[in-house]
Amino acid sequence: MKTFTVEEISQIVGGMLTKVQDVKISQIAPPLLSDENTLALALGEEEIANLAKSKAKAALVPLGVQIDGLTTIEVERPRLAMMKLLNVFYTAPEVNKGIHPTAVVHESAKLGENVQIGPNVVISHDAEIGDGTKIMANSYIGGGAKIGKNCFFHPGVNIGDRVEVGNDVILHHGVSLGADGFSFVTENPDNIEQARKDGEIKEANQKHVIFKIPSIGAVKIGNNVEIGANTAIDRGTIENTTIGDNTKIDDLVMIGHNCKVGQGCLIVSQVGIAGSCVIGDRVVIAGQAGLADHIEIGSDSIVTAKAGVTKSFPEKSIIVGIPAMPRKDFIKQLKTMKDAQEIFAKFRKYEPLLKGFEENVNNDHNS
């Protein structure tokens, strides 16, 4: 078990130590789950209040917070400090040394130094695996795929043919890179084409044969990318689908063929991005947002949760609603709806007077 002094913890997080007593720290936890050898993580107001009921003798707190009788380490960015501590206490999943005897590695594949391959992994022809990469059980690496250095693939990862993955990439359970894109064509114009052109469906197709469009592109993942469990990124039709350096993608995300995602993006769970979208750098796309095909989102934009994005937006946009619109327009729309409710309430209040006025007018006309 790892044990640290409060002085060592303070140095790790770059904090300001107010020491009341010597404390040996062997774990970290919220205040209510902490004991005498636990560093209580009091990152917000509720956790700070819970320190009064905690058994902890030391706590990590925001800058400016001091608790009488408690050793504290003050930090300017508590969540950043927590990340540093979690890296210290984290224990990585174990991977067998070398190549497991049940793994199947094609004779033409090239493996770098200190590569670790788990049980039942299949590495196909002409694949390349960089130095220090670890691939856990039941994963598949397709023909001609190129995997960079110091990557970590959790169990059940599937990498298609010719996919390229950069250095220091983490892929979680069940990630799929390089499946064929959802790309089809009909011999004659179909209902979707009619609706896009004319805004209506004029007639039903009696015979509707759908032809698959093959995908001959691949997927290219940049450096220091992390992709969550059961996320799928499809290969391009002709060009590659690309994900930029330092982008982080959550579980259960779908990114369609031909998409270009920039650097430093954050894409949250259950986002769906249709084919041929272009996402700029440092874009945040919140949970369950959906993007229609062939649209562009400019750099440094935020797409809020459950937004239904049907058109392109420039850089530094805050995109809200269904159908999505700029945040300021959304707020204006809400205000208009509120004003309309007030106007309607006033109308209902004076409706009897209006009816009386109309009856008097009608009586004057009839007399």
Q: Give catalytic residues, as residue numbers.
A: 257
CA nearest 72: which of 33, 46, 81, 80? 81
| Angstrom distance (rounded) from CA 175 to CA 186 | 31
Q: How far apart are CA 120 and CA 135, in angstroms?
A: 10
Cis check for the bond before 214: say yes or no (omega within 30 of 0). Answer: no
Q: What is the rounded distance in angstroms from the CA atom of residue 22 to the CA atom of residue 139?
A: 47
Whole-number Å distance between alpha carbons of 91 and 95: 12
Q: Which residues on adjacent β-strands are paired with residue 184? A: 212
Strand order in the sheet with 260-261: 110-111, 128-129, 146-147, 164-165, 219-221, 241-243, 260-261, 278-279, 296-297
Contacts of residue 192, defined as CB under 8 A and 6 or more positions apart, other chains included, come to none
- The end-to-end CA distance of the chain, in Å, is 100
Task: Tell me how far apart the alpha carbons of residues 258 and 110 are, in angstroms, rounded to a whole number.
Answer: 28
Strands 71-75, 16-18: pairing kind: antiparallel
